[in-house]
């Protein structure tokens, strides 16, 4: 996956290592695409190429989300600097317009460049008209439009002509037409302020000594998944990048999963960033303002409930993998683990870290979520893997239902509500008894995927993380070893190996490999843990990014990219290994010990 990610917590774009923007949605993450060559050769792109041939390299400016692509040949060289502006515009407000800023910096010789500005708005549906105006190029499709400003010759750009770059040149693509056209000095100011913002954000990270560089890059990538306007966290900024090339496991991840987001926030909290968690809790409070609300697993970034999927048959798909989907029918599935993740987030924020006093509103949300979990836990569900046609009593869903009641008890004790703590405590014990009676397979000598099923499932590798099992429990060691035996192929960990709605899985799930590495560490197999962790880090692309899945034979990164789950796990695994290595408390966290469950 030869792309770097730029963004500003409103939208994002993927920049190919050759210097072409092949995926971008404006003005927001989940808007229809402006460029989609990632999914179809005719989907639209925005490329800059050094005339006369080139070799290329690409890297981020240190401690930023500013991407630099270097192109050079025997006669000349340029840097292409890509970013989306983000910085504090006042004490409380961020400047984060739906814009891409591209700077072409001549390094040597007399470079000439060719620029192809080929937007195809609205997922390349209908015709996009490009018009040259006195100070800009306008691209429109129906009511949608984008605007390109530059200090280069716009007529030459319209006709793919070679243009000399004698000094720094800029291209500004924006969703909103400018009242005042940009200037070179203004562009430089945007760059400097954006660079300073990211450097300051990184300075406030408390990173482990294990895999420091990988942790910082993952943290920066995760920050780009946060949608400032609501506090939602997206799973990935792309849609329909296939888990298996040529097959139909293609999903739209530009939405907020109430399971994924808390895990991302926990990783950011572990390195000292708490603002994202506060904003996500506000997102939850808005979602469930009414006590009659129904809980679904995934929402739009604005809190939209109706995100049912449809397909775009006119797009060929990534490497001809169809369908290309918009929306996600996971919103229709019933997944009982969601209550545990949300309540764990509330407990960590208000209880473990004690960042703010528990409020009446949050206590009402706690009661709503715990009571919902109490009603739902005995029902079969679609599991963490969102099976579309299968419903069962999945062990992980039961464990997270136990987590929901356990964290509810702790929050009730924090609120001084003994009546709730006592009632929920009884339900918590009932759930534990149910899991111990039905989740353990005597023949496998392990906790398995679901009640009455002998298949192993990587999700059971989280049982100790949430505190249901202690790392010293013999059942935990046996479960980890059974997962190792049955789920690892060619050194990579599968979610499960049994057939699902779409057949037998063929690619490994990167997050499961992280889970296994952490599980190895908890049972004293630290050498295995480090080797597996290093294997995963070696699979990152040229700028340190990971997708959701990996081809176990070729090492090709597959699935939506970059994937929040995977980068969250880079941080959490490094923190656990570092904690086991030196057991130190970071001074940036003010003496707070980071939980390593």
Task: Pick the range with the lowest mean pLDDT from 231-235, 238-242, 263-267, 395-399.
Answer: 263-267
pTM of the model: 0.94
What mean pLDDT comes out for the span 396-410? 98
What pLDDT is attached to residue 512?
98
Tell me: pLDDT of 588 over 50: no
Burial pattern 360-389, b for ≥16 Cβ within 10 A else e, equals eebbebbbbbbbbbbebbeeebbbbbbbee
| CB within 8 Å of 524: residues ≥ 6 apart | none
SS3 (DSSP) at 114: strand
What mean pLDDT comes out for the span 551-570? 97
Measured in degrees and rounded to the nearest 5, phi and psi for residue 516 equal: -65, -40
Helices assigned H by DSSP within 206-336: 212-223, 260-270, 275-287
- Rounded CA-CA distance 78/99 in Å is 22
**pLDDT (tens digit per residue) in 283-294:** 999 999 887 788
What mean pLDDT comes out for the span 534-549? 98
**pLDDT (tens digit per residue) in 43-56:** 999 999 999 888 89
The secondary element (H helix, E strand) that includes residue 338 is helix 338-346
What pLDDT is attached to residue 145?
98
What pLDDT is attached to residue 390?
87
Tell me: pLDDT of 397 over 80: yes
Token code pair at residue 6? 């730029």
Token code pair at residue 48? 């800059």
The secondary element (H helix, E strand) that includes residue 528 is helix 526-538
Concatenated DSSP letters of 573-589: HHHHHHHHHH-PPPGGG
Token code pair at residue 181? 């056209």
Shortest CA distance to 414 belongs to which of 473, 362, 450, 464? 362
- Rounded CA-CA distance 17/48 in Å is 11
Shortest CA distance to 98 belongs to which of 189, 187, 24, 46? 24
**pLDDT (tens digit per residue) in 194-241:** 999 999 999 999 999 999 999 999 999 999 999 999 999 999 999 999
Asked if residues 182 and 102 have their Cβ atoms less than 8 Å apart, the reply is: no
**pLDDT (tens digit per residue) in 373-389:** 999 999 999 999 999 88
pLDDT band at 593 (very low <50, low <70, confident <90, very high): very low
- Rounded CA-CA distance 117/139 in Å is 10
Q: How far apart are the first and last CA of the chain?
A: 32
Asked if residues 228 and 267 have their Cβ atoms less than 8 Å apart, the reply is: no
Token code pair at residue 387? 């099976």
Angle at 207 between CA 464 and CA 94, to 5 degrees: 110
Measured in degrees and rounded to the nearest 5, phi and psi for residue 415 equal: -85, -5
CA–chain centroid gap for 587, Å, is 27
Stated length of the chain: 597
What pLDDT is attached to residue 595?
35
**pLDDT (tens digit per residue) in 140-174:** 999 999 999 999 999 999 988 899 999 999 999 99
| CB within 8 Å of 354: residues ≥ 6 apart | none
What is the number of alpha carbons within 13 Å of residue 577 lying toward its C-beta? 30
What pLDDT is attached to residue 582?
63
Helices assigned H by DSSP within 208-292: 212-223, 260-270, 275-287
* Mean pLDDT of the residues in the chain: 94
What pLDDT is attached to residue 500?
84
Tell me: pLDDT of 319 over 90: yes
Kind of pairing between the strands at 94-95 and 20-25: unpaired
Angle at 524 between CA 266 and CA 270, to 5 degrees: 15
- Rounded CA-CA distance 461/223 in Å is 26
Token code pair at residue 531? 């080797």
Secondary-structure breakdown of the chain: helix, strand, coil percentages, each rounded to the nearest 5: 35, 20, 45
**pLDDT (tens digit per residue) in 74-128:** 999 999 999 999 999 887 789 999 999 999 999 999 999 999 999 999 999 999 9
The secondary element (H helix, E strand) that includes residue 432 is helix 418-438
The secondary element (H helix, E strand) that includes residue 557 is strand 557-558
Shortest CA distance to 106 belongs to which of 59, 156, 58, 70? 70
Q: In order of start, what are the domains of the chain with their CATH numbers?
A: 3-201 (2.70.98.10), 204-589 (1.50.10.10)
């Amino acid at each position: 996956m030869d792309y770097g990610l730029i963004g500003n917590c409103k939208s994002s774009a993927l920049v190919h290592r050759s210097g072409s923007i092949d995926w971008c949605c404006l003005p927001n993450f989940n808007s229809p695409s402006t460029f989609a060559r990632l999914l179809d050769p005719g989907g639209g792109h925005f490329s800059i190429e050094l005339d006369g041939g080139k070799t290329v390299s690409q890297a981020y400016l240190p401690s930023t989300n500013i991407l630099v692509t270097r192109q050079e040949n025997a006669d000349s060289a340029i840097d292409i600097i890509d970013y989306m502006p983000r910085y504090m515009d006042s004490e409380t407000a961020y400047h984060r317009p739906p814009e891409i800023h591209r700077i072409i910096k001549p390094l040597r010789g007399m470079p000439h460049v060719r620029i192809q500005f080929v937007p195809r708005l609205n997922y390349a549906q209908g015709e996009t008209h490009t018009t040259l105006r006195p100070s800009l190029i306008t691209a429109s499709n129906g009511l949608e439009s984008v605007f390109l400003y530059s200090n280069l010759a716009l007529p030459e750009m319209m006709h793919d002509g070679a243009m000399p770059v004698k000094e720094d040149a800029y291209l500004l693509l924006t969703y909103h037409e400018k009242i005042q056209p940009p200037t070179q000095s203004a562009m430089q100011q945007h760059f400097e302020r954006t660079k300073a913002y990211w450097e300051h954000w990184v300075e406030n990270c408390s990173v482990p000594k294990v895999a420091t560089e990988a942790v910082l890059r993952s943290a920066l990538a995760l920050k780009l998944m946060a949608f400032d306007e609501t506090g939602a966290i997206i799973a990935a900024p792309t849609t329909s990048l296939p888990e298996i090339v040529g097959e139909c496991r293609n999903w739209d991840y530009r939405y907020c999963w109430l399971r994924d987001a808390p895990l991302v926030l926990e990783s950011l909290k572990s390195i000292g960033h708490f603002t994202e968690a506060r904003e996500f809790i506000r997102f939850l409070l808005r979602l469930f303002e009414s006590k009659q609300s129904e809980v679904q697993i995934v929402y739009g970034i604005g809190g939209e409930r109706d995100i049912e999927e449809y397909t775009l048959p006119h797009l060929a798909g990534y490497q001809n993998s169809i369908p290309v989907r918009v929306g996600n029918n996971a919103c229709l599935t019933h997944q009982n683990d969601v209550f545990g993740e949300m309540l764990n987030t509330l407990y960590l924020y208000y209880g473990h870290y004690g960042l703010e006093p528990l409020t009446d509103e949050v206590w009402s949300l706690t009661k709503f979520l715990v009571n919902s979990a109490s009603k739902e836990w005995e029902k079969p569900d679609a599991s963490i893997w969102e099976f579309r046609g299968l419903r069962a009593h999945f062990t992980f869903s039961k464990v997270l239902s136990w987590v929901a009641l356990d964290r509810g008890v702790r929050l009730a004790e924090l609120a001084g509500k003994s009546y709730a703590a006592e009632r929920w405590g009884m339900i918590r014990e009932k759930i534990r008894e149910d899991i111990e009676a039905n989740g353990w397979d005597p023949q496998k000598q392990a906790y398995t995927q679901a009640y009455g099923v002998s298949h192993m499932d990587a999700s059971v590798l989280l049982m100790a993380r949430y505190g249901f099992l202690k790392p010293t429990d013999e059942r935990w060691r046996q479960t980890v070893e059974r997962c190792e035996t049955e789920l690892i192929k060619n050194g990579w960990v599968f979610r499960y190996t049994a057939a699902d709605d779409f057949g037998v899985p063929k690619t490994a799930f990167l997050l499961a490999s992280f889970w296994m590495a952490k599980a190895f560490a908890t049972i004293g197999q630290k050498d295995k843990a480090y080797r597996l962790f290093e294997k995963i880090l070696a699979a990152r692309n040229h700028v340190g990014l990971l997708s959701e899945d990996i081809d176990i034979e070729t090492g090709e990164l597959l699935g939506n990219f970059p994937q929040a789950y995977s980068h969250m796990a880079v941080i959490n695994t490094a923190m656990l290994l570092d904690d086991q290595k030196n057991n130190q408390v970071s001074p940036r966290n003010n003496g707070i010990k980071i939980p390593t469950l």
